[in-house]
């Protein structure tokens, strides 16, 4: 689907040197350079601000070197724009003055992630990007895992729904599972009713492409289960979204996309755990057989749900999948979902909110997120708000009437389907970059993916 960003990281002995310099080290660094280089850099007013760069020409007019600013030395994304900004060619990280100890790893990671471009529907071939030789001291395996995982997730989210309905999402999951020898199964259409997944069936039955539950397992060790919301397009159902809100609804399977990329990372790294991935894949469409506001639906768990809003469908399909997941008592259960606009209002597009009652999981996840430069923020499962989703005619309402605390009440809804003996982490993600930034081009994004990988590696790969 894309020009693979890992092609931007190469082994080469012939490359233009790139020198990375922190702002407070620039004067000392310049003191060791030739008068020509000092004059050139002074002439362009280069101050070594984070991400700023200057191309220095040699006597023959060709590029002799590139000098990259690190600012204070704490921005991991300073190389994130260079693959698209620098002239075509290959560059080598020749020196780092004032950067963090893990800068070589982040230089490679940000370079490759910044070189991503979704070109599946372009009539012209993808533009040629500048390449970087693998930096000395780089954690090459981690970079390859992280870039491959993010690229897969970005591609899936960026693909229009016409080419990414439940059948296509199933094929993508099959490809991931097959690449690592994972066992794969799927329950499709009316078989969901026979096998007792009534909510997945109800949400997806109005689509021309049958709903399904995708399920694959891999590895041995402590059980870790990932559940990803796979709503491949969300019209809002009979509570129809306006056009402005529907425009990005191809990304409503961003939880599933992030989970599949994370699963790929886990399997490529051969983490010592038994992985299970569950993706309820549906299209929330409008037709004569669509579920309605006011309907009362039964769940796999047996709880009855009054439909307060057909546009709160993600939590419905997750409910059946979570009920299935807890039946085998995993050591850790994680779900990811593009679940609520309320979370985006609270935290913005860059920072997924997460919910858990397990303090050690919360602490470890925040630590992993900081180390991975993949920010997340904890929100509370505030029990008194549970009454906001009470129902007069059923056990619970999927939306309730209150305009307040939408992300929290969604989390509390899901909590009804997770047993107390299972450690659980719920992540409400946006899965999208609204604008271009170094290393993070506009479009689909695997938010919290590196943070989760770091959490799992710390917990299970000791």
On whether both 202 and 324 belong to a single domain, the answer is yes
On whether both 273 and 364 belong to a single domain, the answer is yes
Q: Whole-angstrom Cα distance, residue 416 to residue 419?
A: 8
pLDDT per residue as tens digits for the range 297-330:
999 999 999 999 999 999 999 999 999 999 999 9
Q: What is the CATH number of the domain that holds 227?
A: 3.40.630.10
Average pLDDT of span 436-442 = 97
Distance of CA 145 to the CA centre of its chain: 13
Q: Which residues are designated catalytic? A: 241, 315
On whether both 245 and 365 belong to a single domain, the answer is yes
Q: Which of 138, 159, 192 is the last residue of a domain?
A: 138
Domain hosting residue 99, numbered range: 5-138
In this prediction, residue 226 carries a pLDDT of: 99
On whether both 260 and 314 belong to a single domain, the answer is yes
pLDDT band, residue 16 (cuts 50/70/90): very high
On whether both 271 and 327 belong to a single domain, the answer is yes
Beta-bridge partners for 277: 216, 226
In this prediction, residue 2 carries a pLDDT of: 59
Is a pLDDT exceeding 60 seen at residue 422? yes
pLDDT band, residue 61 (cuts 50/70/90): confident
Q: E strands of 285-407, at which residues?
A: 296-298, 304-306, 332-337, 353-355, 377-378, 396-397
Mean pLDDT, the chain, rounded, equals 96
Cβ neighbours for 229, distance < 8 A, ≥ 6 positions apart: 252, 253, 254, 255, 256, 280, 314, 317, 318, 335, 336, 337, 338, 339
Q: Which of 111, 138, 165 is the last residue of a domain?
A: 138
On whether both 105 and 23 belong to a single domain, the answer is yes
Average pLDDT of span 249-278 = 98
Cβ atoms of residues 278 and 214 within 8 Å? yes
Is a pLDDT exceeding 80 seen at residue 4? no
pLDDT per residue as tens digits for the range 204-215:
999 999 999 999
On whether both 334 and 235 belong to a single domain, the answer is yes
Average pLDDT of span 122-139 = 91
Is a pLDDT exceeding 60 seen at residue 1? no
Structural domain total, the chain: 2
Joined together, the tokens standing for residue 35 give: 């008068």
Which H, E and C letters describe 23-56, residue by residue? HHHHHHHHHCCCHHHHHHHHHCCCCCCCCCEEEE
On whether both 223 and 324 belong to a single domain, the answer is yes
Question: Quick one: which of 418, 415, 433, 144 has its CA closest to 261?
Answer: 144
Average pLDDT of span 31-56 = 95
CA dihedral (143, 147, 149, 150) in degrees, to 10, reads 140
pTM metric for this prediction: 0.97
On whether both 12 and 122 belong to a single domain, the answer is yes
Cβ atoms of residues 307 and 293 within 8 Å? yes
Average pLDDT of span 380-392 = 98
In this prediction, residue 86 carries a pLDDT of: 97
On whether both 170 and 267 belong to a single domain, the answer is yes
On whether both 422 and 305 belong to a single domain, the answer is yes
Q: Which of 92, 120, 138 is the last residue of a domain?
A: 138
In this prediction, residue 241 carries a pLDDT of: 97
On whether both 168 and 109 belong to a single domain, the answer is no
């Amino acid at each position: 689907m894309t020009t693979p960003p890992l092609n931007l990281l190469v082994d080469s002995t012939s490359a233009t040197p790139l020198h990375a310099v922190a702002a407070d080290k620039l004067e000392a660094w310049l003191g060791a350079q030739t008068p020509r280089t000092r004059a050139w850099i002074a002439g362009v007013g280069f101050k070594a601000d984070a991400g700023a760069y200057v191309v220095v020409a040699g006597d023959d007019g060709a590029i002799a070197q590139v000098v990259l600013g690190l600012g204070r030395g704490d921005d991991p994304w300073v190389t994130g724009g260079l693959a698209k900004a620098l002239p075509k060619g290959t560059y080598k990280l020749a020196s780092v003055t004032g950067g963090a100890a893990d800068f070589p790893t982040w230089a490679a990671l940000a370079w490759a992630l910044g070189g991503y471009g979704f070109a599946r529907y372009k009539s012209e071939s993808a533009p040629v990007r500048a390449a970087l030789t693998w930096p000395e001291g780089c954690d090459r395996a981690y970079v390859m895992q992280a870039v491959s995982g993010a690229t897969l997730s970005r591609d899936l989210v960026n693909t229009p729904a016409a080419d990414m309905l439940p059948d296509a999402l199933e094929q993508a999951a099959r490809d991931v599972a097959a690449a690592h020898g994972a066992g794969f199964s799927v329950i499709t259409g009316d078989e969901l009713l026979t096998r007792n997944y009534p909510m997945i069936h109800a949400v997806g039955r109005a689509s021309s492409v049958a709903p399904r539950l995708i399920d694959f397992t891999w590895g041995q060790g402590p059980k870790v289960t990932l559940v990803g919301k796979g709503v491949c397009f969300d019209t809002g159902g009979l509570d129809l979204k306006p056009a402005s809100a529907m425009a990005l609804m191809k990304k409503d399977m961003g939880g599933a996309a992030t989970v599949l990329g994370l699963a790929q990372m886990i399997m490529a790294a051969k983490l010592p755990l038994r992985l299970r991935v569950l993706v309820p894949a549906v299209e929330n469409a409008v037709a004569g057989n669509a579920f309605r506001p006011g309907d009362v639906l039964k769940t796999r768990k047996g709880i009855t749900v009054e439909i307060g809003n057909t546009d709160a469908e993600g939590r419905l399909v997750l409910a059946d999948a979570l009920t299935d997941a807890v039946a085998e008592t995993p050591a850790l259960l994680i779900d990811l979902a593009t679940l609520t606009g309320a979370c985006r209002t609270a935290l913005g597009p860059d920072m997924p909110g997460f919910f858990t009652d397990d303090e050690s999981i919360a602490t470890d996840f925040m630590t992993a997120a900081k180390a991975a430069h993949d920010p997340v923020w904890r929100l509370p499962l505030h029990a008194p708000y549970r009454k906001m989703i009470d129902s007069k005619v059923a056990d619970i309402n999927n939306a309730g009437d209150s305009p307040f605390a939408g992300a929290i009440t969604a989390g509390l809804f899901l909590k009804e389907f997770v047993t107390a003996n299972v450690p659980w982490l719920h992540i409400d993600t946006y899965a999208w970059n609204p604008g271009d930034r170094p290393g993070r081009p506009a479009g689909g994004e695997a938010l919290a993916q590196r943070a989760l990988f770091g959490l799992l590696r710390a917990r299970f790969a000791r």
